[in-house]
Amino acid sequence: MAKAVYVTSMEPASGKSMISLGLMEAFSRHTARVGYFRPVVASPGYDDTTIDLINRRYGLNQTHEQSYGITTERTREVGSLHDADILISEIMGKFDTLAADCDVVLVEGTDFTGASAAFEFELNVTMALNLGAPVLLVISAHHHRPDQVRGAVFAARESLQGHEVNLLGVAVNRVEPEHLETIRESLGGLPEPVWVIPEERTLQLPSLHQISAELQASLLLGNQESLDREVTGVRVAAMTLPNLFDRLHDGVLLVTPGDRSDVLLAAVTARFSDKVPSVSGVVVTGGVDPDPRILSFARGLESAVTPLLMSHLDTYETAHRIATLTPQIRFGDDRRIAAALGLFEAAVDTSDLVERIELADTPVTTPLMFEHRLARAARQDRKRIVLPEGDDDRILRAADQLLRRSVCDLTILGSPEAISDRARSMGLDISAATLIHPEHSELRDEMAQLLCDLRTHKGMSMDIAHDAVTDVTIFGTLLVKSGLADGMVSGASHTTADTVRPALQLIRTTPESSVVSSVFFMCLADRVLVYGDCAVNPDPNPEQLADIAISSAGTAKAFGIEPYVAMLSYSTGASGSGGDVEKVRKATEIVQSRRPDIPVEGPIQYDAAVDPAVAATKLPGSDVAGQATVLIFPDLNTGNNTYKAVQRSARAVAIGPVLQGLRKPVNDLSRGCTVKDIVNTITITAIQAQDD
């Protein structure tokens, strides 16, 4: 039987779903078989936002129908819980079906927006008792004084314990910053852990994603990423522009008929002026298409980011629906998800929480579990990573997410004014990052002197160095070399050579490495494998191949993967011959000689390396065959093609390339990288820097 954890509150708008998101994040680090269940939802046809978010974000093997018990309408068919045994049976039946395939199920209680509060409280208590589930109590501090919060916690505890409910802990949510310490102190004597979570204003604002879904609006201008931003207010643009400008503020959403070309022009060009607030977007109403010439002009603006939505409702109904929305975190709202998880993880000791639930780790490692573990490892010893490409929107989006989750500290290179303006126009918060313009930085002379000292033997002069350090990649590499940054990530808009060459010249390789090489973390459905080298060395000789294998084993170990190294070839053991096979055989012997502590096998074919049944036939008795975790390819042609074939055909998540062999970590991005790729690469770089 799966373990169950029951999350309940005592009133609506407690932020209970944010707590559920944080718990799912914690659970998914430990097991791949996680479930999510709600005893009661609004109606069968209702698109429950939280169910959709959690099912899709965590790739749960359950449908929307399997994720809830009954509807609110069913609860109204009975007068009290004493007459509701049949409802409990229905809910339990659906829960048991779901739980049969799970190790742990998170159950999120009712929202206190349907039947009477007394009925919902009794229903939640009865469900928790029937499931044998410990309860995590969520108390909202919003608009409450500290003494009122303390009273609410003690009253709720008494009510739950009076029903012999096992209380796992108390999450006091939505606490004003000035009340955090007072509330912590007032609840410090409780036997259960108490987590005090501050109010985050952005989570109490609707996003353009949510507004677009509510209005069933079509997107005329912008992209899905541009809908991430929050809406700080709504203005119906019915007046002339001078009067409208006086009523704008950053993040406001304009609602206007589609034929108001003047408003549309002002909205899409406002981001070019620091005298006019940057609007979050525009909703045109009445189903009236804007003038195509205006749309053509707006689309022609460089990197246009002001979203334009079309609603088929009239202006009044559109504005009313937006104004009465209850903010929610939806799937695709990556910034809001990052903000919510950052709050939860900063306040809650998730390791202690998992231990209290006695949730055992699973040997299975899913891609999501691996990514969670990376973020957690990076947060334990935060490092500073420099990002030279501050003019790339993907870098700024990734920076926003990393800073919200406190994964690492960031230095971003480029014009501080341009970067700040760009981030503001996209609704991003990178205020915690350090922004440096190499050309105008007070560090320019210091970095030029360092460059000159390092390259004097190559004819470098101070005049040349002073000009060279204005290159963002060189400046970033020098920050790492000097210790002002712990690592660097570049390549979103620069070539691999632009990134790697300065690292080789200035940071250089470690004494034990003759080459810089790379690995990809290949996240399959149930495990993570390390592939090397798939990005740097075209045709390594036996000594270099041995270096790559030893470095890759070290990288695997650093990221929690026990290295069993397979030196790949087209033959296994002594079955084949030829120059290519001999190279692999020689490299294997070098690894065994230099590092006898590393389990290594070679030459070996891929199937014998990873499939126990094949290994039993081809290499019986091998310590590596059938269970290899680190796979070393004989050349770049083989490695690069194999990783891409596995990535596309097996739908594996490929994280990398991760460079290894340098004295300090520098990693290269693909110019086609996504925001998620950047987040993962920066996180990995931060972890690599912890070993320095």
| Dihedral sign of CA atoms 72, 76, 80, 86 in order | negative
Q: Which fold has domain 3-200?
A: Rossmann fold (3.40.50)
Average pLDDT, the chain: 88
Q: pLDDT at residue 495 above 70?
A: yes
Percent of the chain scoring above 70 in pLDDT? 95
SS (H, E, C) 309-374: EECCCCHHHHHHHHHCCCCCCCCCCHHHHHHHHHHHHHHCCHHHHHHHHCCCCCCCCCHHHHHHHH
String of DSSP letters for 222-278: S-GGGGGSB--EEEE--S-HHHHHTT--TTEEEEEETT-HHHHHHHHHGGG-TTSPP
Give me the pLDDT at residue 451, please.
92
Q: How confident is the model at residue 594 (pLDDT cuts 50, 70, 90)?
A: very high
Give the span between the Cα atoms of 530 and 552, in whole angstroms.
7
Between 128 and 552, name the one with better pLDDT. Answer: 552
Between 382 and 369, name the one with better pLDDT. Answer: 382
Q: What is the pLDDT of residues 629-679, one digit of tens each?
A: 999 999 999 999 999 999 988 888 899 899 999 999 999 998 888 898 999
| SS3 (DSSP) at 382 | coil
Give me the pLDDT at residue 360, please.
56
Mean predicted confidence (pLDDT) in 113-141: 82
Q: pLDDT at residue 24 above 90?
A: yes
Q: Name 409's bridge partners.
A: 384
Q: Name 308's bridge partners.
A: 221, 282
Give me the pLDDT at residue 365, please.
76
User: Is it true that domain 517-661 has CATH number 3.40.50.10750?
Assistant: yes
Give me the pLDDT at residue 79, please.
55
Between 373 and 80, name the one with better pLDDT. Answer: 373
Rg of the Cα atoms in the chain: 28
Q: How confident is the model at residue 692 (pLDDT cuts 50, 70, 90)?
A: low
Q: pLDDT at residue 525 above 90?
A: no
Q: Name 518's bridge partners.
A: 659
**Hey, do 208-323 and 363-507 end up sharing a CATH topology, with the first three levels equal?**
no
Give me the pLDDT at residue 164, please.
84
| SS3 (DSSP) at 471 | coil
Q: Cβ distance 476 to 498 under 8 Å?
A: no
Give me the pLDDT at residue 46, please.
61
Type of residue at 94 = K
Q: Cβ distance 540 to 515 under 8 Å?
A: yes
Of 222-231, 396-405, 486-495, the poorest mean pLDDT is in 222-231
Q: pLDDT at residue 116 above 70?
A: no
Q: How confident is the model at residue 690 (pLDDT cuts 50, 70, 90)?
A: very high
Backbone angles phi, psi at 282, to 5 degrees: -135, 135
Give me the pLDDT at residue 122, please.
83
Give me the pLDDT at residue 276, please.
76
Give me the pLDDT at residue 302, please.
59
Q: Cβ distance 160 to 135 under 8 Å?
A: yes
CATH of domain 208-323: 3.40.1390.20
Q: What is the pLDDT of residues 53-80, one digit of tens each?
A: 999 998 898 999 999 988 877 777 665 5
Question: CA nearest 543: which of 507, 514, 500?
Answer: 514
- Highest-confidence range of 4-13, 169-178, 199-208, by mean pLDDT? 169-178
Q: pLDDT at residue 435 above 60?
A: yes
Q: Which fold has domain 363-507?
A: Rossmann fold (3.40.50)
Q: pLDDT at residue 575 above 80?
A: no
On the 0-12 / 13-18 / 19+ scale of CB atoms within 10 A, 316 is exposed
Of 274-288, 459-473, 601-615, the poorest mean pLDDT is in 274-288
Give me the pLDDT at residue 155, please.
92
- Give the chain's length: 692
The residue ranges of every structural domain in the chain are 3-200, 208-323, 363-507, 517-661
Question: CA nearest 124: which of 107, 139, 104?
Answer: 107
The four Cα atoms 73, 77, 81, 84 give a dihedral, to 10 degrees, of -100
Give the span between the Cα atoms of 173 and 7, in whole angstroms.
13
Both tokens of 358, joined, read 């006695």
Type of residue at 627 = Q
Give the span between the Cα atoms of 685 and 491, in whole angstroms.
14
String of DSSP letters for 21-48: HHHHHHHTTT-S-EEEEEEEES-TT---
Q: pLDDT at residue 114 above 60?
A: no
Q: pLDDT at residue 384 above 90?
A: yes
Q: What is the pLDDT of residues 277-298, one digit of tens each?
A: 888 889 999 888 888 888 888 8
